[in-house]
C-alpha cells in the first residue's frame, strides 16, 4: 500500500482525509486507484496533477515506479514559463 498525501484543498473531496492509502506500483496505477477509491478526485486528476515521490516531482509521467515505503505527494500540475 502507498500512503498518498493530498493537498489540503482536496480534503473536501475525500471526506476530510488528507492521507489516503491505495495499492500502486506506478504513478499511473496510483492515479487510477485514487479515482476508483475516491471518485470525487476524478475532477482534480483530470484537470492535471503532478506526483512527488521522495521529493522528486513527476510532472506528468504515468509509468514512474513507486518504490515500497516511499513518501508520495499529490500536487497541482506544475506549469512553466
Partner 1 sequence: MALDDRKTDFTFVGTRPNRPDGLDKVTGRAKFGADMSAPGMLHGAILRSPHAHARIVKIDTSKAEALKDVKAVVTRADFADVPFKPGLAGEFWNVLENVMAGEKALYDGHAVAAVAATSALAARDALKLIEVEYEVLPHVTDVDKAMAPDAPVIREGAADYSVPEGMHPNVVRYHESGHGDVDAGFAEADLVLEDSFVTEATHQGYIEPHACLGLLGNDGKGELWCTTQGHWIAQKTCAALLGIETSQLRVTASEIGGGFGGKTTVFIEPVALALSRKANRPVKLVMTRSEVFRATGPTASASMDIKIGMKKDGTITAARGEFRLQGGAFPGAPGDMTAMCAFAAYNLTNVKQIGYDVMANRPKQAAYRAPGAPMGAFAVESVIDEMCNKLGLDPIEVRLKNAAHEGTKASYGPRYERIGLVETLEAAKAHPHYSAPLKPGQGRGVSCGFWFNHGGETSVTLALSEDGSAQLMVGTPDIGGSRASMALMAAEVLGIPYENIRVTVADTATLGYNDVSHGSRVTYASGLATIKAARHAVEKLCERAAAKWDIPVEAVKWENGCAVPSGPNAGDFDPMPLADITAKMGRTGGPISGHFEATPEGAGVSFGTHIVDAEVDPETGKTTITRYTVIQDAGKAIHPTYVEGQFQGGAAQGIGWALNEEYIYGEDGRLQNSIFLDYRIPVASDLPMIDTVIVEVPNPGHPFGVRGVGETGIVPPLAAIANAVSNAAGVRMKQLPMSPPRILAALKDNG
Residues that bind partner 1 (CB under 8 A): 5, 7-9, 12-13, 43-44, 46-48, 52, 54-61, 64, 71, 73, 75-76, 78-81
Provide, rounded to whole angstroms, the least separation between the CB of residue 78 and partner 1: 5
Provide, rounded to whole angstroms, the least separation between the CB of residue 56 and partner 1: 6
Provide, rounded to whole angstroms, the least separation between the CB of residue 60 and partner 1: 6
* Bridging pattern class, strands 2-5 and 72-76: parallel
Separation of alpha carbons 8 and 35, rounded Å: 17
CA 37 to chain centroid, in Å, comes to 12
Q: Which is nearer to partner 1, 2 or 58 (CB)?
A: 58
Name the residue among 80, 48, 44, 41 with its Cα closest to residue 62: 48
Amino acid at each position: 500500500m502507498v500512503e498518498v498525501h493530498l493537498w489540503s484543498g482536496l480534503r473536501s473531496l475525500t471526506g476530510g482525509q488528507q492521507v489516503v492509502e491505495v495499492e500502486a506500483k506506478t504513478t499511473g496505477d496510483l492515479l487510477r486507484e485514487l479515482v476508483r477509491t475516491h471518485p470525487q478526485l476524478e475532477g482534480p486528476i483530470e484537470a492535471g496533477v503532478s506526483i512527488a515521490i521522495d521529493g522528486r516531482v513527476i510532472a506528468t509521467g504515468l509509468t514512474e515506479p513507486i518504490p515500497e515505503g516511499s513518501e508520495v505527494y499529490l500536487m497541482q500540475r506544475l506549469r512553466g514559463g
